Structure 1
Amino acid sequence: MDKSKGTVIHDIKYEKFMTWLHENNFPESKLTLANFTSNAFKLDSRNLELNLLLKKGMMATSDIEAGEVIVSVPRDFLITNDSLSKTYGTNHSLSSHQILALHLVLLLRDKQSWWKPYIDLLPMHFNTMPVKYAKVLVDHLPSALKEETLQQKENIRTDYLACTKFIQSRKEKTDPISAEEYEWAWLCVNTRCIHMTKMDNRTKGGNIALAPMLDFLNHTTEAKIDSGFNVRKQCFEIKTLNPYKKGEQVYINYGPHDNLAILKEYGFVLSENSYNFVLLDEEVWNLYSEVESKRGLEIKKQILEGAGYSGDYSIKADEISFRLMAALRLLALNGTLEPGFDRRVMDWHDVVMGQTDLISPDNERKALIMLQSICQKVAKQAKNELAILSNITEKYPEAGFHPFALYFLRQIWKESSEIVEQTLLYLNDKLSRL
Structure 2
Amino acid sequence: MCCTLKSSTRKSRLGRTFRKRLNRQNRFDSGKNLPSVIKDIEWIIFRDWLKQTGFPKTKLTLAEFNERHKNTKSSVYPYIQMLPKNFDTVPICLDLELLEFLPNNLKEDVKSQKLKFEKDFRSVCRFLKKQLNSDINITYNEFLWSWLCVNTRCIYFEPFKSINCDVRENIAIAPMLDFLNHNFDAKTKGEFNRVTQCYEITTLTPWKKGQQVFINYGPHDNFKLLLDYGFTIPNNPFNYILLDDEFFKFNEEVENVISKKLNLLMKNGFYGDYALHASQISFRLLTALRLRFLRPINDISSQETQHLITKWQNTISGKYEIVSYENEIEVYEWIDSVCKELIKKCDLMLEKVNNTNSIPSGSLENLKLLWNESKNILTSVIILIQDSKKYVTL
What interval of TM-score do these two structures reach, taking the shorter chain for normalisation?
A: 0.7 to 0.9
Alpha-carbon contact 2:235-2:373 (below 8 Å) kept: no
Instruction: Please say which of residues 197-206 and 116-125 is displaced more in the overlay.
Output: 197-206
Q: Which residue of 2 aligns with 1:426?
A: 384
- Matching of residue 138 in structure 1 with residue 99 in structure 2: yes
The structure richer in strand per residue is 1
Count residues in correspondence: 355
Q: Which residue of 1 aligns with 2:239?
A: 276
- CA distance in structure 2 between the partners assigned to 1:78 and 1:171 by the alignment: 20
Alpha-carbon contact 2:225-2:232 (below 8 Å) kept: yes
- CA distance in structure 2 between the partners assigned to 1:176 and 1:207 by the alignment: 25
TM-superposed CA distance for 1:416, in Å, is: 0.5
1:197-235 Cα offsets, whole Å, 9 max, x none, are 254743465221111111100000111111111011111
Amino acid at match of 1:348: W
- CA distance in structure 2 between the partners assigned to 1:104 and 1:294 by the alignment: 57
Q: Which residue of 2 aligns with 1:285?
A: 248
- Matching of residue 331 in structure 1 with residue 292 in structure 2: yes
Q: Which residue of 2 aligns with 1:235?
A: 198
**Structure 1: which 5+ runs fail to align?**
27-73, 85-101
1:130-178 Cα offsets, whole Å, 9 max, x none, are 1111222211211110000011111111100000000111344322211
Alpha-carbon contact 1:198-1:231 (below 8 Å) kept: no
Compute the TM-score of the two structures, normalised by the length of structure 1. Answer: 0.78
Q: Which residue of 2 aligns with 1:359?
A: 323
Residues 150 and 294 of structure 1, relative CA distance in 2, 3 Å threshold: same
Alpha-carbon contact 1:372-1:427 (below 8 Å) kept: yes
Q: Which residue of 2 aligns with 1:409?
A: 367
Structure 1 segment 52-71 matched on structure 2, within 5 A: none
- CA distance in structure 1 between the partners assigned to 2:203 and 2:132 by the alignment: 46
Amino acid at match of 2:85: M
Q: Which residue of 1 aligns with 2:23?
A: none
TM-superposed CA distance for 1:390, in Å, is: 0.9
Identical aligned residues as a percent: 35
1:13-72 Cα offsets, whole Å, 9 max, x none, are 21110110122335xxxxxxxxxxxxxxxxxxxxxxxxxxxxxxxxxxxxxxxxxxxxxx
**Structure 2: which 5+ runs fail to align?**
1-31
Structure 1 segment 87-106 matched on structure 2, within 5 A: 102-106=62-66
- CA distance in structure 2 between the partners assigned to 1:233 and 1:147 by the alignment: 42
Q: Which residue of 2 aligns with 1:35?
A: none
- CA distance in structure 2 between the partners assigned to 1:366 and 1:392 by the alignment: 39
- CA distance in structure 1 between the partners assigned to 2:188 and 2:74 by the alignment: 33
- CA distance in structure 2 between the partners assigned to 1:261 and 1:199 by the alignment: 29
Alpha-carbon contact 1:78-1:209 (below 8 Å) kept: no
Alpha-carbon contact 2:152-2:229 (below 8 Å) kept: yes
- Matching of residue 129 in structure 1 with residue 158 in structure 2: no
SS in 1 for 2:82: coil
Q: Which residue of 1 aligns with 2:15?
A: none
Q: Which residue of 2 aligns with 1:40?
A: none
Compute the TM-score of the two structures, normalised by the length of structure 2. Answer: 0.86
SS in 1 for 2:169: coil
1:385-416 Cα offsets, whole Å, 9 max, x none, are 111111011xxx4xxx3201111011001000
- Matching of residue 21 in structure 1 with residue 76 in structure 2: no
Alpha-carbon contact 2:257-2:298 (below 8 Å) kept: yes
Structure 1 segment 391-406 matched on structure 2, within 5 A: 391-393=355-357, 397=358, 401-406=359-364
Structure 1 segment 103-252 matched on structure 2, within 5 A: 103-111=63-71, 112-199=73-160, 201-203=163-165, 206-252=169-215
TM-superposed CA distance for 1:237, in Å, is: 0.7
C-alpha RMSD over aligned residues: 1.7
SS in 2 for 1:183: helix
Amino acid at match of 2:53: N
- CA distance in structure 2 between the partners assigned to 1:4 and 1:192 by the alignment: 30
Q: Which residue of 2 aligns with 1:30?
A: none
1:83-129 Cα offsets, whole Å, 9 max, x none, are x4xxxxxxxxxxxxxxxxx5453221233221111011111111101
